[in-house]
Every structure is written in C-alpha cells, then in structure tokens.
Structure 1
Amino acid sequence: MSTARRRLDPEQRRAQLLDIGARLFAEHPYEDVWIEEVAELAGVSRGLLYHYFPNKRDFFAAIVQRASDQLLSATEIDPNLPMAEQVSAGLDAYIEHFIKNPHGVLAVNRGALSGDQTIQAIIDDELAVLRRRMLDALALHGHERDVAGAAVLGWLAFTRAVCVNWVAQQTMSRDEVRELCLRTLVGALGSTVHLEEPPR
C-alpha cells in the first residue's frame, strides 16, 4: 500500500527513497525488488524516482554508499584516547551502528551485486578507512604495521560477518558478540600488540 504523498524537499525525498529501498533490499533478494514498488510505497511516480536514481543499480549503490558513510561517521573515535579505549569504543560504535540500522546493513550484506565494481569500490574504501583508523590507534609503523594490517583486514571481515549474522538471527547477546570480536582481534594481532581492554 502506498503512503500519502507528502511535500518533501529534494534531500528529504531522496532520504525517504533510500530508507524504503534499504528495507526492501534487506527483506528480499536484489532481483526481487522492483523500482515500481519503491515508488508506490513512497507515494511518488516512477519518473520522480528515476529523477534521483537513473536505474536500479544506481539506486542500490546509493543505499550502499549511504550505509558506508553512516558507519564511518558512527565509528569515528577521538584519536587522543589511549589505544585500548579507541579500539574498545570503536567496536562498541560498530556494533551499535548495526543495531540502529538493521535494514541498511542487511541490504548491503545480502551479497547482491558483489561483483559490481562500483559496489566493491565502496566496500573497499570503507574497509581501508577502518583499517587505517585501527592501525593508527595501535600506533604501529614499518613492517609491524604491514603485518598487523593484514590481521586487521581479516578481523574486519570477520567482525562484519559476525554482526550481520547477529542482526539477522539474534542468536547471541550483544555482550557475547562484543567479547567474541574483541578476543578474535587479540588473537589475530598475536604478539604484535599487547591489547588489554580498559574497564567498562
């Protein structure tokens, strides 16, 4: 059922369309989502939707980009905090983002268009920023930074998969998710960094 059309400014209308799209892509495979349904739910014409997004692929890419931007904004931690506090706060913010944006994160991580260059570039850029922030927090340089960088990249992929599964299945508590991810990071870094979590 379509919603009554409200007069929104362009930024609000674009955000509304992305919200609806994120929900639909989270609930259905990419190929089962129709632009016509998005327009109907928003109470707008297909022509207006295409004014914002030329095609379905660009629409999905915009959803992925917004989700990535929101994640990077939510996980930006004060670089002046002690190392362990930065890591702990960053992980907490990451988990909180998944809690607050279940449709967005599930839409992005359903595997749709995984081979698309634009989508992959957004994901790669996001991982690069998160990796750099983590390595900066660990204050590593030279070869140690290179070694830890490989471990951090693997840990980010692991943490993403755990959080996506948790949001979709709810088989663990938040504390269990946090503990699992933190212990895995400690194990991944090995003797490179002695990471002790600060009191909560």
Structure 2
Amino acid sequence: MTASSGTRPRAERLPRSERRAQLVDVASDVFVEFGYHAAAMDQIAERAGVSKPVLYQHFPGKLELYTAIVSEACEEVVASLETAMASSTVHRDRVAATIGVWYDFVAEGGKSYRLVFESDLTNDPHVRTLLDKFNFDAATVIAERVTEDTNIPLDAALVIAGSLVGASQVGARTWMSSDSSLSRAEAVALSSSLLWRGLSGLPVAVSPNTAD
C-alpha cells in the first residue's frame, strides 16, 4: 500500500523539545492549509510521521495545539517589539523599528501570521481572549516607553500605542496581500513617515536631541 498524499515517513526518535517543535511546525501547515475546523489530529500525526498517542502526549487536544501555536507566535512578536523599543534612543528610529516588526512578522512569519490574523477560530472565546491579550501586550510595550519619554499618563499612552499597533498591522497585511511592488524597506519607510508625523507632536520629557 502506498502512503497517502502529504504523509511523511515515520519520524525518528527526537528529544521532547525537538519533537514538540516539529509537531508545531507540521500542525501550522495543516491549520493554514485546511483551517482549524477541517484539520484533524489524525492528519497532523500522519504528516509528522508519529502516532496519535505521541501527538497527544504533547497536546491533549486540537484546540490546545492550535492555541499553543498562536501563543508562541504572539510571544515572539512581543519580544521583538521589546527589542525594537530598546534598539535606539532616537524616537523616530524606534518608531521605524517597531513598525518593522509587523512587516517582518507577515513577511517571515508565514504560517504564524495567518493563524493570528486570518484564523477561522477568532470567535472562539479562548482564542479571542488570547488575541486580545496579544494586542494589549504589544500596545503595553510601546505605551510604557511613551510614558517614560513623555508626560503622558499610561492610559492615554495605551490609546496611542494601540493606534500604532493597529495601523502597523493593517499596513503590513495590506502590503503582503496586495502583491506590492514595494520592498519591505520602502513599505516600512512609508508607514513610518505617516505615523511619525503624529507621534512627533507628543511632548518630549527627555533631552531634545532624542526626538530627531
């Protein structure tokens, strides 16, 4: 009997952490290709070359597997935003670096960004809570720096940061989905120029040369 299309040979034994990473990668492919509801744990196990019991040793169910993938992707983006905010003392450069995180996510995240932004499960309460937390955490990283560098209170800074996050996400997704002729650098520069016009008007509480 020949193997069905898309199956892989039985996988070699791997350390637990490596096996988990492999299962996450394979499951991401399946979820993107078929959507959450049509994807099956049997299918994921077969593509990964493992038995279903092995898959269930790592993830007790399909929802847990899906949310693990989304959660890890979100955590990576938030960590990248923290790095971007710490990358320069020049405010305009930090804005560009922050916007660049979202363009990198859609350009390089591939499967992950589709599960975060284009999931057929966003109405599930657990997934919705996870994505809402992601957006809040992303905004908080930016808002804390805005508050530190200006006289703006945190609740107001969160509104500003949330606007930056939302505009950056939509701009990056539009660039990716429209088959744009613009390079990543050109698209980031355009978004940065637009958003910096508003952000540059915030009151600066640090030395003037950092606002350039």
Q: Same fold (TM over 0.5)?
A: yes
Query: More displaced, 98-107 or 11-20?
Result: 98-107
Say whether the 8 Å CA contact 2:200–2:211 is kept in structure 1.
Answer: no
- Runs of 5+ consecutive residues of structure 1 not aligned to the other structure: none
Equivalent positions of 1:15-94 (< 5 A) are 15-77=21-83, 79=86, 81-82=88-89, 83-94=91-102
Would you say 1:119 and 2:124 are equivalent positions?
no
SS in 2 for 1:75: helix
Provide the TM-score with structure 1 as the length reference.
Answer: 0.82
Which of 149, 152, 171 aligns to 1:162? It is 171
1:128 is aligned, of 122, 136, 146, to: 136
Cα gap change, 1:193 to 1:163, in 2 (>3 Å): farther
Classify 1:13/1:140 alpha carbon distance in 2 versus 1 (closer, same or farther; 3 Å). same
Whose Rg is larger? 2
Gap regions ≥5 residues in structure 2: 1-5
8 A contact 1:84–1:198 mirrored in 2: yes
Partners of 2:155 and 2:78 lie apart in 1 by 22
Structure 2 residue aligned with 1:175: 185
More displaced, 36-45 or 114-123? 114-123
RMSD: 2.8
With over 3 angstroms needed to count, the CA separation of the structure-2 counterparts of 1:81 and 1:155, relative to structure 1, is: closer
For 1:60 and 1:26, the matched residues in 2 are separated by 11
What's 1:3 paired with? 8
TM-superposed deviation, 1:84: 2.3
Q: Could you tell me which residue of structure 2 aligns to residue 98 of structure 1?
A: 106
The within-5 A match list for 1:177-192 is: 177-186=187-196, 189=199, 191-192=201-202
> Partners in 2 of 1:73 and 1:40 — Cα distance?
33
Q: CA deviation at 1:59?
A: 1.1
Seen in structure 2, the aligned counterparts of structure 1 residues 161 and 129 have a Cα distance that, compared at 3 Å, is same
CA contact (8 A) 2:8 2:49 kept: yes
Counterparts of 1:38 and 1:76, CA distance in 2: 33
**For residues 18 and 193 of structure 1, do their structure 2 counterparts lie closer, same or farther at Cα, with a shift above 3 Å needed?**
farther
Q: Distance in 2 between matches of 1:181 and 1:111?
A: 25
What is the TM-score when the length of structure 2 is the normalising length?
0.78
Aligned-partner Cα distance in 2 for 1:19–1:75: 23
> Secondary structure at the residue paired with 2:37?
helix
Decide whether aligned partners of structure 1 residues 187 and 114 sit closer, same or farther in structure 2, where only a CA change above 3 A counts. farther
Give the aligned length.
197
Q: Which amino acid aligns with 2:88?
A: L
Name the CA shift for 1:164/1:34 in 2 (closer, same or farther; >3 Å).
farther
Cα distance in 2 for partners of 1:123, 1:188 equals 27
